[in-house]
Structures are given as C-alpha cells and as structure tokens.
Chains A and B, each alone.
Chain A
Amino acid sequence: MAEEKKLKISNTLLPTESMKVIAESIGIAQLSEETCQSLTEEVSYRIKELAQDALKYMHHGKRKKLTTVDIDCALKLKNVEPLYGFHAQEFIPFRYASGGGRELHFYEEKEVDLSDIINTPLPRVPLDVCLKAHWLSIEGVQPAIPENPPPAPKEQQKVESTEPLKVIKPGQEEEGQAKGKGQGAAATDGKGKDKKKSLLDGGVMKLKPRTTHELSVEQQLYYKEITEACVGSCEAKRAEALQSIATDPGLYQMLPRFSTFISEGVRVNVVQNNLALLIYLMRMVKALMDNPTLYLEKYLHELIPAVVTCIVSRQLCLRPDVDNHWALRDFAARLMAQICKNFSTTTNNIQSRITKTFTKSWLDDKTPWTTRYGCIAGLAELGHDVIKTLIIQRLQIEGERIRTVLEGPVVSNIDKIGADHVQSLLLKHCAPVVAKIRSPPDNQESYKTDYGYLGPMLCTHVVKARAQAAMQAQQVNRTTLTITQPRPTLTISQSPQTSRAPSIIKVPSSITLPMQTLVSARPSTPTQPSPPATKFIMMSSASGSSSTQQPRPTLTISQSPQSSQPSTSPSIFKVPSSITLPMQTLLTRPSTPTQSSPSPTNYIVMSSSSGSSSTQQVITLRTTPCGTGSTSPVTTTVASIQPIVKLVSTSQTAPSSTVTGSTQKYIVVSLPSASESKAQSSNNSLQQHSPK
C-alpha cells in the first residue's frame, strides 16, 4: 500500500504550464518548452526536499499536521528566506478560479481599507496557556470524569447494540484470509486446519462477552444522589442532576440502572397517579437522550413503554379535571418522536410500530378522551406526513365525536374537558398542514364539507397560519441584504416597495450563477452603502451544490414571493469568513416553494470560510409556528454556537397581519467565536427546535 503511495509521489511533477504561468506573472513572456521542462524537474525536486525537511520539524514539534511554519523552518535550513505572511495555522489563502480554459490557484490580495481595520474592535486576546491536573488513572483504573474520554465511545456503543456481530467481523475476515493463505501454501495441510478454523469461527460467533457490571462505590453514591435529586423536591438540585445526566461522559456503566429506575418509576407512579413524579422521570429520559456520549438503543425496550405510558395512559393524575396532565402527554409525545428519529431503523421499525399502536387505540371507539389525546399528540409529533396521511383523514369522524360530547347532552365534565383538548390539539397540528395542502381561497363552507364539524374552526386557524407565514415572508422577502465581510454585523433592511416583484439577485460583478431558483427580474438598489469587502459563496437549497464565487463582495438580494404561494423552503447561503471574523447572516428565501417543510419558514444561513480546511457554522433560524402576532416573531435556535441574535425594529411594526412595506428590521446575528466544529453544528442545525 505504501508502495503505491510512494509511486504516486515520485511520479509527481509540477505541470510545465505552472512554470509558464509563474514566469508570466513575473514578466517573462516567452519561455521555451525545454526550459519549462527542466525548471519543473528542478522545482519539483526542491519542493519535495523541502517537504521532507519540514516533516522533521513537524515530528519534533510533536504535531500530526504539517504547518506553514514547518515549511518556513525548512527554508531557513536551506538558507532561503522564509515566505512571510503565511503564519495562519489552518487557513491557506489560496483561491481557485477557472476561466478561459485555464485553471488557476491564486493568492487573493484584498484591498483593505485601513480605516476599517482601525475602527474594527480588536479581537479578543487568546487565552494564555495554563496547566490543569486531573487523574488519568487511579491505581490502574481510569476514573470516569469529564476530563477523561468516555469509557465506551458512542460509536462503539452503537455498534455493539445495533450490530453485535460486526464487532467480531474483522477477526473473521482475517481468519478467512489466513485460510486462503494456508491453502495456497500448503494444500495438504490445509484441510485439517480449515476444519479447526471453521469450528473456531463458529465459536467466535456464539461468544458474547458476558460481563457483569459492578459499580464502584463512587458510582453507587452518584447513582443514589442523582436519582434522589431527580425525583426529590428541590428544583435546584434536580436541575443540577439533570444537567449532570445530560453532560457527564461516564454514565455508560450506569445506563442499565437508570433505565430500570425510569421504567419502574413510571410503572409505580402511573398506578398512584403521581403526575409530578412522572414529569420528573420524563425529564430524566430527556436528559439521557441529550447526553452526547450515550447510546440508548440497548435500553429502548424499557424506555419506550415508559414513555408511551406517559402519553396514552387513561389517567395520569389524581384530579384529571384540574391537573395539567396534557402537558406531560405533549412532552412525552415529543420525546417519543425524538426517539423515533434517533433510533428508528429498518430492522427495529420503531416508528412504524409506534404509529400502529397509536392508530389502533385511536380508532377504538371506547378509548377515553385522555388516551385519545395522547394518541393524536404522539402521531402529530411524528411529522407532517403522518398528520397528512393519518390525522387529516379522520378529522371528520373525530369532529363528529367531539361534537357529540361538546354539544350533546352533558355526559361528564371530564369528557368535556378531554374533548376540548383534543379539539384544540387537532386544530393546532392540522392547521399548518392543511394550509400547505390546500390552495388559498379559504372558504368556511368548503372546509365544513371536507372536514365536518371542525371545518370552520380549522378554516380560521388555517387563515391565521397563512397570514403569519405571509407576514414573515413579507418581512424577509422584501429585504435588501448587505453583507459586509470584515464586520461582524449583518444588516437586513426592508426595501420600501410594496409590490411583489419576482425575486432578484444582484451581484456586482458576477461570474456564472448556477442558481436556478433565483430568478432575476428587477434590480433593486441596496439601501445601505456596502463597503468593499470580499466575496461569498451562495448555495440555494433547491439546486444543492451550486456555488458561486465572486471577486467583489457586495451582494444585494431583494426578492419577494409569488403572492399565491407562501413558500416555506429554506435557502442556504454560505458566506466566507476568515476564521477570526466570526459572524454571519440571515437571508431570505427563494421564490419557488418546493418542499413542504415542517414549520412555516426556515432561514438557514451557513457561514463558512471558503477553502477546504475551513470551519463551518450553521445557524438555523425558525419562525415560531404559532400565528399570534408579536413584535419579534422570530425565535432562534442555534446549534451549539450560541450566537447573539437581535431583532431590532426601527420603525413601528405591523405585527400580525400582512405587512405594510414601511417596516424596517435589522436582524443582527453574531457569533462569539468560530471555534465550533463543522460536523457538530451542521448535524445539529437542522434538527433543533426551540422547545416551547
């Protein structure tokens, strides 16, 4: 393997074109082919030599990554003046460009306005080196503390629980290979060996490590403290305990105990109708799910029944008419949805099994209202598709049932409350979906024919939902956006036009723009003067991978949706930022509504420093699905970076209804530091909801 690698290395020569380009760049026009040839050979050799020397510095610097500083040192070793200006550890300032049949990597030299630099507040001083001591091992045993890696990494837990056979597989393959070799080398001897080996193979397959987990005294104490705090009366302690469960890396060993604790606890407290304890236990489940070092798959058989119980149980509290057990059902339903999302696979089929369970008990006529509520909540949390296919189909029947309770002869107060709750639940979840599947003229009558008793109410809800979506669309769509690269602020201001023009992207000096979704029609002037900053890459979500580079950075986007279609599809913008400038943006949405996304509007802004080694931050901004008008209709949930998001309205806002064009809004998003890793943030970003 190494040989192949080396082969490649030794063959590599710089292309002669490079020599020509470089020669041109320093003013030598005609370079003969031969000269180029011998130059590339020489230069390639020298570069290889340098790289080999630089490697020494890397080894002695006790690093795994070669840095520009190593190259500088290697140059110094050869008595060559080092290349100055390449001192960034990560960021290599080369840009790629193609055009005119040539592909180039060039060093981008920006024009920098000095006053900008002077006026920019100084970046934070990096923290100084400090020394921190912890126990890596105590008499041969590694303590499970946050400073140490988790005893079993999550990946391994996952592999162990989902594919127990895979753990042994590499060994088997080796065995297989050995077998092959054995046959090749000594055919006569081979058969006897093979038999033994296959026996061995079988043995390995059956062997499952049977280890009893013995908790150390400290772990037992911890378990006791945590469980007591979780179900105890002190809220502060509970918060601390839950925090510990959600973050501590060493809980792997205790996981079986916790899951048993929860399932037993639910069993007992459901019987006793102890609502408070059930809530506490569900919060424990939530905390366990939140712990990034735990993989719960092995314990789902205990957790799911507990959670489902909390969703659909006939009675969860002592006074069903007064206590708000509905909240517990909602919370548990969200947990269930999260479990489905995280752990449902084609083998365990959790989601479909859960869906079936809910549907079955919902369909039963005798099901009490509490359980009915739980079933619907559980289904509704599973997503729009489930709502569309399962709930909306039954709206008519369900509406009838509600009507008999609410309008018919008084049966019992409890039933009435239950029916009331079911009604509002249905309306809450169905409205956004209906808004999406039906086209606007919302007519009470047609709703009534389609959805029966609930029709008229649903209609008003849908209208509200639409209005809210449209308002948010207005607010953002009618904007002019200015991105200034070196500044950690972004300004979005709404342009004064009220007309709904097709969207436009105006790019000062644009190269090819492969953004099909953005239809340019009419340029609008930026309302803010844009300083000469750099460029950015833009990605539209519809086309996915298209990206553009622009040498000049000013971007003005002004777009508005077709009035008929309140669009909900997200748009993604990538904006390059150098690492030291942590900041990004918020943009608008494209004009073509393509997908049905769960909540009314998504704004996804990705900022990244371009270049391969860059980090990316993803910020997700979601509008609240509720239609109630408020002055700040945008709540933000941001994955792990915690940006500061401000929504400033400078003039009076028109809250709930359709927007008059005169409002100006500045949304300022800034990130404190760019240190978060790309993977983490990008994974989380699309999944986070703001829990209400």
Chain B
Amino acid sequence: MAAVPEPPAAQSEAPASAAASAPSLASVSVSIPVPIPVPVPVPVPALAATPSPTPSPTPVPTPSPTPTPAPGPGPAPSPAPSPSSTPSPTLVPKVEPNESPAENHKPGPVPAPAAGPGPAPSPELPDKQTLLAVLQFLKKNHFKEAEEILRKEANLQESLDESLLRAAGQRGSDSVHQPDVSSVLSAYSNEGDPSLYEEYYTGLKGFIETALDAFKAELSTLLYPVFVHLYLELVYNEHEREARHFFHKYHGDQEGYYHDDLRVLAGLSKKEHMQGNETVLDFRTSKFVLRISRDSYQCLKRHLQERHNNQIWNIVQEHLFIDVFDGMPRSKQQIEVTSGGMAGEAKREANKTKVFFGLLKEPEIELPLDDEDEEGENEEGKPKKKKPKKDSLGAKSKKQDPNAPPQNRIPLPELKDSDKLDKIMIMKEATKRVKLGPDCLPSICFYTFLNAYQGLTAVDFTDDSSLIAGGFADSTVRVWSVTPKKLRSVKGATDLSLIDKESEDVLERIMDEKTACEFKMLLGHGGPVYGTSFSPDRNYLLSSSEDGTVRLWSLQTFTCLVGYKGHNYPVWDTQFSPYGYYFISGGHDRVARLWVTDHYQPLRIFSGHLSDVTCTRFHPNSNYVVTGSADRTIRLWDVLNGNCVRILTGHKGPIHSLVFSPNGRYLASGATDGRILLWDIGHGLLVGELKGHTDTVYALKFSRDGEILASGSMDHTVKMWDTVKAFEDLETDDFSTATGHINLPDNSQELLLGSYMTKSTPVIGLHFTRRNLLLAAGAYNPQ
C-alpha cells in the first residue's frame, strides 16, 4: 500500500500519467539486454510501437470486405497519447530484437500471413510459374514424396501457389468468373459438370465404406472437408440448385460438432455471399488439417489415382493438409477426441516447441512472519504450524524448477514494498490453508447479484478476495467490497496539498472518508462490458467492452486512467498478468493483443485464430498466454517472440473459459458443449475430459494447491472435480505425443466430487481464497 505517492488528481485520462504512476515498471523495460537491432522481420506479428505505414500486420491474412483493424499509430483518438509519452514507445521496440528472427513463417494453418495474394505476386510470377510447372510435372508422374518436399519448401506462399495453380489450370479452359471476384475465391472456379459432384462425393464415401476397418475411421475424416469444398465450388460456380440439393443430401453425414459451421454454409446460395463470409474465407485461406497414418494415406492415394478422380484429388491437394504419420491407424474414438476444430486438428509440428511451463522462482523475502504468527496462535499447537510453512516456502522458492523459464526471459516489474507485504500476507494465509481432497471439500460462498436483469456479463475477484468487480450489459463496471472495509477514494488535489507528507499515517490521511461506501460504479464504456480483471496489487482494474476498448481504472480514485484502443471490434476478454504491468486482450477481430499499462499500443499481436478470440489467460509464469476461440481451438503463445507454441484441438464448441493449474503444467478449458478438457502443456496433449455440465462452462478455477478444479456453468451448477486423480499416471510418452493416439479414460463420474445447484443463478465467476474457500458469483435470473 505504499505506492501512488503522486497526487492522484493528476491521473485523469492521459496514458502518460499512467506511465508516470508506475515509474518502476517503465524502468524495467530499459533494463533489457539489448542485442544488435536487427530489422524486424515482417511476418512476426508483434510490432508494438513501430509506426508501420502499411497495414501489414493485420490479423486477417487475406483481403476481406470486412474492415480489418489496422493497429497503426493513426487511429488512437480521444485519450490520445500526449507528447510527453513519446519517449516511452522508444523503449518498447527494444524488446523486439530480443526475438529470434529465424522464424520467417508462423507454424500453424494460416498461410500467407503477410501479404494477401492479390496485389503482391506480380513481380515474382515467373518464378512461381516454373515452380508450378515442376510441381505439376511431379504430380503428373506421381512423385509424391518429391512433390511434398518441394511443396514444403515453397510452403511460404502455399495458398498463393494454390490459387495460381488453379488459375493456371483455368487459363486453358478460359474462366468466365475470373475477373469480377476476389482472387481468393477464384480457386473454386471450375467448369466441371455440376451433376457429377454428387458422384464424386458418393464415390469417395463408397470407397471409405468399403475400405478396411482399420483405415475407415481415419479416412472418414476426409468426408467433411471434401463435402464443404465441393459445396463451395458448386455455389461459386452458380449451380445454385445443385448446390442446395447436394448440401441437403449429404450434410447429415457430417459430425455433430461441425453443425455450427454447416449452418453458416447452408445459408450460402449465391456467389456474392461468399465474398463477405468469414467462414468461407477460413475454409479457403486455411488448410484443413487431417492426421492420417501412412497406410491409410497410401490407400486413399491409390484409390484416387485409380479412379482418376481429379476433382477430389484437387481438393485434397489444395485445401487439405494431410499430416501423415508412421504407425498404427487411429481408432474412431482416438480421432474423435481431438477433432472438432474449425480447421481440423493441429499439425504435429505445431506442438513441438519446448514450453517452459514451470514457475518462476519466488523472490526471497525476509519474513517477520514468525513472531506475529506465534502471537496469534500460540495456543493452537506449534508443531502443526511449522510444517506447512516449510512446504509452502521451501518447495517453491529454494529449488529452481527445471521446466521454468529463465528468470529474466521477459522483463517483469520490480517488487514494490507493498507487493512484498502482500507476499508475506499470502504466505501467512497459506499456512492456514485448508488441505483439500476428496474427503475435504471446500465450502462455497455464493455471491448472488440481485436485480441485475440478466445484465451481468463478467465477474472478477481480487486475489485476496476483498473486492468483486462486475461488468454489466448496461456498460457499467461496479466494484464491491466484500469485507467490512469500505471503498474510499483519494481526496482532491487541494485537500491533498494540506496533508503533512511526513506523518506516519499519510496513506490513511489521503483517503476521503466522505466517499466511503460499499460499492463504486465506474462509468465510461459505450457498450456491454465483457471482461474485467483486477491487477495483482489491487490498484487497477481492467475492463473490456463491446465498444472496442479496454479501459484501465484506478481503484484509488475510481476514475478511468487509459482507454486502450486497438481492437476495433468487441473485446471479449482481458486479463492482467500475474505479475502486473502486462495484460492481454482478445476480441472479435480474431487476434489477441499483449499490452503494457504504460503504452497505448499493444506490444504483441497474436494472430492465427480463425474466429473470435473468446477468452484469454496468462500463464502463472507470465511468459505465455493462452487464448480460446470460437474456432474451437486453444492456442498457447509465447510472450517473448509472439509465436504460437501450442494448438490444442478437441473442443466441439466455442471455448469460454480457461485456467492454468497453479503449478503451470496443466490447463483446463470449458466450452459451450459443457465439457471440460484437461491439457498437458508440456506435451501439448489432451489428458482428460470432464463431462457433467449440460450447458456452457463459463468459470473454471483450480484450488490454491491444485487438488480440486471447480467449474461453474450456465446450467446453474458448481461442480468440483478431483484433479489429483485426473492427473495421476498419465500416459504422456513420446509416441502418443507424436501420433495423437490418445485414449481418454471415461471416468468423469469418479472424478466428480460434488455438484451444487443454485436456485436459478448461472455461475459465471469462481475464485478460491488464499485459505481455499471457494467463492462463486452469478446473477439471479428469475424465470
């Protein structure tokens, strides 16, 4: 509580003052060891403050009619950076050279991250043409391996290749539709007989049905992407009736979890519709990834070649990425477990990077703990107390976790005195923590928001459980104090000047008693507030809103300090780093952005998701962030270099909640399908599935020691799961990592420790206090 010495009246709107209010934070970024400034490689999507004139780092990799958000310096109007803040951006680009410039394209199914295929290719066209010729030659002679290798090497501009390839193919049979539609879609132009499409599809289906049982499951994954692309081709070529017929005849074959996408596609009936449709663009611009064993792949190839089924073959070549692995074909269950993503499964390479999932070393703090503690609890047996203390302090701070990132991998703010005091408090509380387990379930204290009229959209608790923030659909953010201590704001400037700065209780004196009340309302947003997050030191609050901004509020003055503009579309979620200073936000524009509080522009832009980024969370060591998306995938991003290091598929619906285990090794995620999935971050593997909820899981939280996972859902229940049991003896050998032969035990019922129903209150916020009492929150919803 020793911070904020400045007169807070000055902290009105300008971000500059926010920067000034945390001088220690700003100095951190200066302390980075600065290597030679390498010119920033273009595709790295994290250009913080470089005033790039081109809108190159736009998240949507292809030109689409929807206006893409341009994070250029130009649009940053109202709380505009005052000139005084100009020195601070200069600090940030220095972080850039820290990155490894070696990566010149992002792993992940989004090709052509930089330039759209439209304007760029003309100068290098001849080269491409040759390349294409070679490719076609190889293809014609069935030199698959060679072709693949060549393809891989030319992978950089693959989608470009594809479109050119198509274009080249078309040039012979002159295409009519070429000029007037965007070149992205042109790949679909085809003069094939529309009535044959059904035959193509039934042919493939028939082949798969007659294939060996071992291959059947793997090959049937092919049906969905082929179906979609055949349909899109029909639509594109204006065979409306055939397209509709085709769709209705075969859409029933597709798996249930694709229905959302199919529903979008079903609406399409005109070529014109395709241009603005994001789902279509996703299908076109990103390859659908299938993991198939070599045997199955050979079988498929043979079939397609025998039948001279060029249509299917073209689709497989152009729109699918078949990740072939050596080994046993997977069973239907194994495939089912990881399928469901909008663009298929993750490529194996995508999850190969090493992730430092360990925790950072706790700073050593002198503990005046013993005396105080003994005073308080002298009667209650000393030996008991000593033991847990050793656990909590010794285990974490003394030994360095082998999986932890280097301490200074990313710059972190220095600890202030108040933070140290807080740490001491945490440790003290930790000694009193209840040891949870299947026999000792936590009590749940439920905070019901009454009279919210269905308007509660986000909830957050402070780590010490003293404050609750609620975001509401009426654009307000409200902060409640749940302890007897009331919320007070700081006095005005004139009153502050009268205070004796030397007095001992100056921190108490600056507070204005007259403003004390149980809750404060923060007004400023222009749309529903979808995310709230307290800073770890409880001095700030972040809120993200439909109006496209993230706002930083001071909890000393209860005013808005900065409005961070960058997402031009609704911002679905935001969260502070566990060390403060950094925060992450994600929104409808399909990117997640990493910010620091004292810069008005993001430091990193994480782009790659194919649909809205619905929730964002920091890893406990602050070196990684995880994002969940409406494309049904989860991605883990490295804060240091902006790379996507994990792509996790397996959810069958948009993801709405994410949480890391306290040890940083596991991740739990909840989605609209009501399932909770557990992931091993180190291996990038799905390790568990918790079934039980019947509606969207909006809240997830691990207990302080990680023994219990609590989940809250729209179905009005809080459930508790035994994670100790879920994580014991996992099969995380390299084989399953490599091939994705995942066998999940179906033991949700055994793992479910308790289910508690509310009267009519969806659970949207959960929090474990430092002593492992579970707090839950939601708005009462009268039926």
- Tell me which of B286-294, B468-476, B732-740 binds A: B468-476
A134→B778 CA distance, assembly (Å):
12
**Proximity bits, A22-60, B CB within 8 Å = 1, else 0:** 000000000000000000011011001100100011011
Flag if B759 contacts A6 (CB, 8 Å). Answer: no
A64→B456 CA distance, assembly (Å):
13
Contact of A139 (CB < 8 Å), options: B443, B447, B569: B443
B450 within 8 Å of A by Cβ?
A: yes
A411 within 8 Å of B by Cβ?
A: no
Q: What B residues does A2 contact at CB under 8 A?
A: 256, 259
A620→B268 CA distance, assembly (Å):
53
A131→B449 CA distance, assembly (Å):
5
Contact of A73 (CB < 8 Å), options: B252, B453, B527: B527
Q: What B residues does A7 contact at CB under 8 A?
A: 248, 251
A138→B519 CA distance, assembly (Å):
27
- Tell me which of A141-149, A226-234, A399-407, A448-456 binds B: A141-149
A140 within 8 Å of B by Cβ?
A: yes
Flag if B457 contacts A142 (CB, 8 Å). Answer: no
Flag if B470 contacts A129 (CB, 8 Å). Answer: yes
Flag if B588 contacts A77 (CB, 8 Å). Answer: yes
Flag if A60 contacts B457 (CB, 8 Å). Answer: yes
Q: What B residues does A208 contact at CB under 8 A?
A: none
Q: What B residues does A128 contact at CB under 8 A?
A: 451
Q: What B residues does A11 contact at CB under 8 A?
A: 248
Flag if A45 contacts B451 (CB, 8 Å). Answer: no
Flag if A61 contacts B457 (CB, 8 Å). Answer: yes
Contact of B473 (CB < 8 Å), options: A49, A61, A79: A61
Flag if B443 contacts A137 (CB, 8 Å). Answer: yes
**Proximity bits, B508-539, A CB within 8 Å = 1, else 0:** 00000000000100000001101000000000
Q: What A residues does B718 contact at CB under 8 A?
A: 136-137
Interface residues of B in 724-783 (CB under 8 A from A): 753-754, 756-759, 762, 764, 776, 782-783
Interface residues of B in 209-253 (CB under 8 A from A): 247-248, 251-252
Flag if B764 contacts A62 (CB, 8 Å). Answer: yes
Q: How many residues of A contact B (CB 8 A)?
A: 50
Interface residues of B in 471-496 (CB under 8 A from A): 472-473, 478, 480, 482
Chain B interface extent, by class:
35 or more
Q: What A residues does B453 contact at CB under 8 A?
A: 89, 126
**Proximity bits, A325-350, B CB within 8 Å = 1, else 0:** 00000000000000000000000000
Flag if B482 contacts A131 (CB, 8 Å). Answer: yes
Flag if B445 contacts A10 (CB, 8 Å). Answer: no
Flag if A63 contacts B446 (CB, 8 Å). Answer: no
A82: shortest Cβ distance to chain B, in Å? 11
Q: What A residues does B530 contact at CB under 8 A?
A: 60-61
A29→B531 CA distance, assembly (Å):
49
B612 within 8 Å of A by Cβ?
A: yes
B42 within 8 Å of A by Cβ?
A: no
Flag if B447 contacts A131 (CB, 8 Å). Answer: yes
B468: shortest Cβ distance to chain A, in Å? 7
B264 within 8 Å of A by Cβ?
A: yes
B546 within 8 Å of A by Cβ?
A: yes
A62→B532 CA distance, assembly (Å):
14
Q: What A residues does B446 contact at CB under 8 A?
A: 133-136, 147
A69 within 8 Å of B by Cβ?
A: yes
A127 within 8 Å of B by Cβ?
A: yes
A675→B451 CA distance, assembly (Å):
12
Interface residues of B in 558-603 (CB under 8 A from A): 569-570, 572, 588
Interface residues of B in 423-449 (CB under 8 A from A): 440-449
Q: What B residues does A64 contact at CB under 8 A?
A: 695, 714
A413 within 8 Å of B by Cβ?
A: no
B315 within 8 Å of A by Cβ?
A: no
Flag if B754 contacts A140 (CB, 8 Å). Answer: yes
A147→B478 CA distance, assembly (Å):
23
Contact of A56 (CB < 8 Å), options: B443, B449, B457, B630: B630
Flag if A130 contacts B451 (CB, 8 Å). Answer: yes
A62→B697 CA distance, assembly (Å):
10
B458: shortest Cβ distance to chain A, in Å? 8
B361 within 8 Å of A by Cβ?
A: no
* Complex: chain A residue closest to B448, CB-CB: A132
A133: shortest Cβ distance to chain B, in Å? 5
Given contacts A45-B273, A61-B457, contact A131 B519 (CB under 8 A): yes
A519→B722 CA distance, assembly (Å):
72
Q: What A residues does B756 contact at CB under 8 A?
A: 136-137, 142
A78→B630 CA distance, assembly (Å):
18
A138→B434 CA distance, assembly (Å):
13
Main secondary structure of the interface of A (DSSP, over half): mixed
Given contacts A59-B654, A61-B457, contact A69 B473 (CB under 8 A): yes
A132: shortest Cβ distance to chain B, in Å? 5
A606→B696 CA distance, assembly (Å):
38
Flag if B758 contacts A148 (CB, 8 Å). Answer: yes
Flag if B758 contacts A149 (CB, 8 Å). Answer: yes
Interface residues of A in 66-101 (CB under 8 A from B): 67, 69, 73, 77, 79, 89
Flag if B757 contacts A137 (CB, 8 Å). Answer: no
A236 within 8 Å of B by Cβ?
A: no
Q: What A residues does B569 contact at CB under 8 A?
A: 77
Flag if A677 contacts B783 (CB, 8 Å). Answer: yes
B168 within 8 Å of A by Cβ?
A: no
Q: What B residues does A79 contact at CB under 8 A?
A: 67
B77 within 8 Å of A by Cβ?
A: no
Q: What B residues does A126 contact at CB under 8 A?
A: 451, 453
Given contacts A10-B247, A60-B457, A129-B472, contact A45 B268 (CB under 8 A): yes
Interface residues of A in 623-670 (CB under 8 A from B): none
A371→B237 CA distance, assembly (Å):
91
B262 within 8 Å of A by Cβ?
A: yes
Given contacts A62-B714, A69-B473, A73-B527, contact A133 B519 (CB under 8 A): no
Q: What A residues does B270 contact at CB under 8 A?
A: 41-42, 45
A142→B441 CA distance, assembly (Å):
11
Flag if B256 contacts A62 (CB, 8 Å). Answer: no
A3 within 8 Å of B by Cβ?
A: yes
Contact of B266 (CB < 8 Å), options: A6, A42, A65, A129: A6
Q: What B residues does A142 contact at CB under 8 A?
A: 756-757
A675→B530 CA distance, assembly (Å):
28
Q: What A residues does B588 contact at CB under 8 A?
A: 56, 77
Given contacts A2-B259, A73-B527, contact A60 B447 (CB under 8 A): no
A9 within 8 Å of B by Cβ?
A: yes
Contact of A45 (CB < 8 Å), options: B269, B441, B570, B696: B269
A510→B442 CA distance, assembly (Å):
65
A6→B264 CA distance, assembly (Å):
10
Flag if A136 contacts B444 (CB, 8 Å). Answer: yes
Flag if B672 contacts A59 (CB, 8 Å). Answer: yes
Flag if A139 contacts B698 (CB, 8 Å). Answer: no
Flag if B449 contacts A129 (CB, 8 Å). Answer: yes
The 3 closest A-B pairs by CB, nearest first: A10-B266, A140-B441, A136-B444
Interfacial residues, chain A to chain B (CB-CB below 8 A): 2-3, 6-7, 9-11, 41-42, 44-45, 48-49, 52, 56-57, 59-65, 67, 69, 73, 77, 79, 89, 126-140, 142, 147-149, 675, 677
Interfacial residues, chain B to chain A (CB-CB below 8 A): 67, 247-248, 251-252, 256, 259, 262-264, 266-270, 273, 277, 440-457, 468, 470, 472-473, 478, 480, 482, 519, 527-528, 530, 546, 569-570, 572, 588, 612, 614, 630, 654, 656, 672, 695-696, 698, 714, 718, 753-754, 756-759, 762, 764, 776, 782-783
A-B contact pairs, 30 of them (CB 8 A): A2-B256, A2-B259, A7-B248, A45-B268, A45-B273, A56-B588, A59-B656, A59-B672, A60-B570, A61-B530, A62-B762, A65-B454, A69-B473, A73-B527, A129-B451, A130-B449, A131-B448, A132-B450, A133-B446, A135-B444, A135-B446, A136-B445, A137-B443, A137-B754, A140-B440, A140-B441, A142-B757, A147-B448, A148-B758, A149-B758
Given A41-B270, A149-B758, 14 more A-B residue pairs with CB atoms under 8 Å apart are A10-B248, A45-B269, A52-B263, A59-B672, A61-B528, A64-B714, A77-B570, A89-B453, A89-B454, A129-B470, A131-B447, A131-B482, A136-B718, A148-B757
